[in-house]
Structure 1
Amino acid sequence: MELPDPDEEVRAVEDDAGASPAVPADQPFYTIGQVAQLLDVPAAQLRRLDALEIVQPDRTEGNQRRYSAREIERLREVITLGEEGVTLPGVRKILELRRRVGELEDQLSRQADELADARRDAGLGARGEAGAAAPGAGHEG
């Protein structure tokens, strides 16, 4: 089985959060051998990251690992952090903090949307002012 052009895969992952036209970003598709070749790392390193629960790919019915494009991007992050001298426990903490920040950003966005909806329903302007009139309106001279 021939690997897709690594440059095209990188572009697809970077340009569209891991989605490529043929394979959705979250679909487990790539074998451990393909990922090892794509990232230029030994398959044993990928197995270790799986065993340490840093990047855990899905498994087939035959118990073979299958990686999604998102997991490949996460592996790139892990490898880069390791090359910068971050230990595996440090990598795990960084990834957990990034995940938590993402959750908080999503929560904040939902709350901002709910607040905007509530203000609109109450007839309030963006700053919570009733009957948000145009500048200068209501002033007679």
Structure 2
Amino acid sequence: MLDVQQAFLRRLDDHEVVTPARSGGGQRRYSRRQVEQVQQVQELVGEGLTLAGVRRVFLLQSRIAELEDELAARRRADRPPGS
């Protein structure tokens, strides 16, 4: 599906970039979101980032999303009633 080597997926797991769930037999199970993340990793690595760099990008993207949610909540709370 992703056209990547199993070793690449192991490295993503080892470097805690994308950590899939495991089946009872120990096989990796990826969610749709994780599959999208693996695709994004491929793009970023293709642009020259290391896996540590990719992990940092993911952490920063997550933090930005949290801050955007917090800002939206504050804006809703600051709105005058009835608007």
Q: TM-score, normalised by structure 1?
A: 0.56
Q: Which of these two proteins has the greater Rg computed from alpha carbons?
A: 1
Q: Which has the higher contact order (CA 8 A, sep 6+)?
A: 2
Q: What residue ranges of structure 1 are gaps of 5+ in the alignment?
A: 1-37, 127-141
Equivalent residues in 2 for 1:16-31, closer than 5 Å? none
**Runs of 4+ residues over 2 Å off in structure 1:** none
User: Per residue, is there more helix in 1 or in 2?
Assistant: 2
- 8 Å Cα contact 2:15/2:52 also seen in 1: no
Q: Take 2:68 and 2:8, find their aligned partners in 1: how far apart are those partners?
A: 32
Computed over aligned residues only, the root mean square deviation of the Cα atoms, in angstroms, reads: 1.4
Deviation at 1:51, TM superposition (A): 1.0
Aligned residues: 83
1:120 maps to 81
Query: Matched residues, percent identical?
Result: 45
Query: CA separation in 2, counterparts of 1:64 and 1:39?
Result: 16
1:38-65 residue CA offsets vs partner (Å, 9 max, x unmatched): 1111011001101111000011222221
Q: Which runs of 5+ in 2 are unaligned?
A: none
Scaled by the length of structure 2, what TM-score is found? 0.91
The corresponding residue for 2:63 is 100
